Amino acid sequence: MGPDYFLQNNVGIGTDDADPLKLSEEAFDHIMAVNLKGCLLSCQAVVPVMREQGSGSIVNISSIAAIAAAVPLTAYRISKMGINVLGHSLAIENAAQGVRVNTIMPGLLDTPMAVDTWATKRDIPRERIRAQRDAMVPLRAKMGTGWDVAYASLFLHSDEAGFITGVVLPVDGGQLTRVGG
């Protein structure tokens, strides 16, 4: 049957992100506002309703970049680690009322936004970026897709995951096993 209400927080930007000494305050504030504050505010809006009904499921999308070394994505990484912490806090504070909160950390995904952004930023052909990213994934040397994250989300929202809360689940084709997360 599943929870009466569920919330899927799936947003992430890294616009103008940089290494810590080059990151502008404006870029930092914008990335934090969209990625972390947006997630917090939507949770604040829905959790009281879920608590009142005695059930609910929240899945927040983070990134393995939160815990693995990554290219200069300082604010993005901080915002995604914040989502991990937010998920843990919400899970423990709302478990007694039947509200489950879990987090997914996707690894490299083969999406136009991810591949094309890096191809443009580095002025490298799209297929070369795709090949470089594929090579970083242990499982079949292929990036995942949005569907891989969607299936994990569906499971975490389902009755089959009714005893799961506070989890931070990598959906990364084994990337964290390679980089030591």
Structure-block tokens of residue 113: 């936004």
> Per the residue annotation, which of 28, 76, 129, 156 is the catalytic one?
76
Task: Answer whether 97's CB lies under 8 Å from 50's CB.
Answer: yes
Q: In what order do the strands lie in the sheet with 168-171?
A: 6-9, 56-61, 99-106, 168-171
Going 86 to 87 to 88 to 94, the CA torsion angle's sign is positive
**76 classed as catalytic:** yes
In whole angstroms, what is the distance from residue 97 CA to residue 33 CA? Answer: 28
- Which residues are marked as active site? 76
